Structure 1
Amino acid sequence: MKTLNLSKFSSQASPEILNGLHQIADAEGRKFHAVLDEAFRDYLSKKGFAINRRQMMSHFAQSLQEFEDLYKELAK
């Protein structure tokens, strides 16, 4: 599996938001940081910030590799 270049940071959020993100991650069989990253990307897109397409496609390819079995089950 390809390793992502991630940066650690510290912040605060309401317990409801964190709980919601954890519930989504658990329900989708994903890691918390992946759900948080998706939320950040959606927010940036909403605000008009362009995300590097090559990097986005790299993340998409990693997602396909990491969740291949899940995607196959969902496609049934």
Structure 2
Amino acid sequence: MKFSSQANPEILNILHQIADDEGRKFHSVLDEAFRDYLNKKGIPLKNIKVETEFSQSLQEFNELYKELAK
């Protein structure tokens, strides 16, 4: 789901750099940060994590999945 917000530019730059260094998409790093924060607050996300990973996989490998389905 897309949303709009404001954040500290230094933090955003660091998150973008982490994504680049790890060869990941920014939204994946941001999702991980959100999940870690919620876990720290005692809010378990076991089912949501699976759904998030599946959704990210579909976005990242959509063309590959289409080819494999042929």
TM beyond 0.5:
yes
1:50 CA drift (Å): 1.2
Structure 2: 5+ residue stretches without partners: 62-70
CA distance in 2, matches of 1:31, 1:13: 18
Matched, 1:36 2:9: no
Which residue in 2 is equivalent to 1:49?
43
1:19 CA drift (Å): 0.2
Which residue in 2 is equivalent to 1:8?
2
RMSD: 1.9
1:57 CA drift (Å): 3.5
Higher relative contact order (Cα pairs below 8 Å, separated by 6+ residues): 1
1:54 CA drift (Å): 3.4
1:55 CA drift (Å): 3.7
Structure 1: 5+ residue stretches without partners: 1-6, 67-76
More helix by proportion, 1 or 2? 2
After the TM superposition, which parts of structure 1 deviate over 3 Å for at least 4 consecutive aligned residues? none
CA distance in 1, matches of 2:49, 2:12: 24
